[in-house]
Amino acid sequence: MMTWVLAIEKELRASDLDSNQNRLLIHRSDARERLLPLLRPPELALVNGGSGIKVDITTCNGSSTFEVTFKYWPSSKGYLFNGNGWGQLLEQYRDKFKEGTVLRFFAQHRGKENIKFRLIMIVASNKETMDAADVLVSMKHPYLSVV
């Protein structure tokens, strides 16, 4: 069984919800400390080179998967998710995503398995709700780790 680890926690801002910008800006420290170490060297080169890699984001109940591009964005010196998948995700969650909504993305430790990099997304209306959800998620998905 593969294990999952917390890769990103993001509190949404107005710019993340702007369909004209069509991107989710990831905190540089989260990307460098938690997400980039999970990538293989060829993936890391593509991300840092600006072309990026395709990543599947799946809702925690498994009902929807969205393909986004994860890449370095030189103008902000940060990392982001963008592409049609992010726009589709925004559209599907338009009633739930507001400024202050907290998203958590869990990533797989893939080991030597040759599988696509993917994330599980958990949504909460605010940080307190997300903390309470940790207990419920750990019961439903005991292979998730928020460490």
Q: Which of 9, 54, 60, 63 is nearest to 33 (CA)?
A: 9
Q: What would the pLDDT profile of 14-28 be if each residue is shown by its tens digit?
A: 999 998 999 999 989
Q: Which of 117, 7, 10, 123 is nearest to 56 (CA)?
A: 117
**Where is pLDDT greater, at 125 or 145?**
125
CB 18 within 8 A of CB 80: no
Q: Could you tell me the domains of the chain?
A: 4-141 (2.40.330.10)
pTM: 0.81
- Mean pLDDT to the nearest integer, 122-135: 64
Q: What would the pLDDT profile of 56-75 be if each residue is shown by its tens digit?
A: 998 877 788 999 999 999 98
Q: With the CA atoms of 114, 69, 40 and 12 taken in that order, what torsion angle do they form, in degrees rounded to the nearest 10? A: -120
CB 45 within 8 A of CB 52: no
Rounded distance, CA 115 to CA 134, Å? 27
Q: What would the pLDDT profile of 74-110 be if each residue is shown by its tens digit?
A: 988 899 999 999 999 999 888 889 999 888 888 876 6
